[in-house]
Amino acid sequence: MNIDLTGKTALVTGSTQGIGLAIAGSLAAAGARVAVNGRSRDRVDEAVATLEGDVFGVAADVADADGAQTLVDALPQVDILVNNLGIFGAVPAGEITDELWRTFFEVNVLAAARLIRHYLPGMVSRGWGRVLQIASDSAIVTPHEMIHYGVSKTALLALSRGYAKEASGTGVTVNSVIAGPTHTAGVEDFVYQLVDRSVPWEQAQREFIRLHRPQSLIGRLIEPQEIANMVTYLASPLASATTGGALRVDGGYVDAILP
């Protein structure tokens, strides 16, 4: 299967590390011109330096309206938008404050909505485009230890489905990728919130899956590149008939035939 994104410009938000960095690398390897995004210029430059291909950086906080405007001023048009930016963290249900609810909605939902609102009309006018949201198994299996996160990711699925309808018949597709428990630096920190910090990482990972994600059918954390593989396919012309979907790369974690 030959995925060729030559001539396409892609933006991956929150792509200085983890899943976002892997996605940026995969899109660039397929021939796309890729914008790496993060809040810090230093972090963005460091990330760009690790990647090969036509890659450049845009430092902007897209969870903030002014920051999002900074980004679109620097990059007015894209063919592929990957809304990867997201935050998570374990908080007891009774301690999720109004402020925390707002923060998670701003970062995990509204940031994506802002960028779709800006970039989708151009894609439609050109008759081709790809919009992808990185969601989570928590959108379907709401975790009791971070309800606010799960709710924000559920909203992201609805956002994708709604904009897929808005783009109906235009040559633009809009999809979500449901990522399962994935091995990133942030997830390592999260795992150690729930598992004894004194144990080695491999043991901590196994304990986390056994105690907190026993539904996983692969029995391990997913690697970021495995998420990036799905995103790169969906960003390509080969996925022209896939839209409005929520596609799982979750290691079989969600115990359902459909999302």
Cα dihedral 96/191/197/40 (nearest 10): -80
- The letter for the amino acid at 213 is R
Four-residue CA torsion sign, 86, 87, 93, 97: negative
- Compute and round to an integer the Cα radius of gyration of the chain: 18
Q: Are the CB atoms for 115 and 13 separated by under 8 Å? A: yes
Cα separation, 171 vs 137, whole angstroms: 28
Q: Are the CB atoms for 90 and 194 separated by under 8 Å? A: yes
Cα separation, 168 vs 250, whole angstroms: 27
Q: Are the CB atoms for 109 and 156 separated by under 8 Å? A: yes
What residues contact residue 49 under an 8 Å CB cut-off, 6+ apart?
none
- The letter for the amino acid at 32 is A
Residue with tokens 């919009």: 131
Please compute, for residue 157, the number of CA atoms within 13 A of its CA located in the half-sphere on the CB side. Answer: 19
Residue with tokens 């330096």: 49
Active site residue 149: yes
Annotated active-site residue in 119, 149, 163, 253: 149
Active centre residues (catalytic): 149
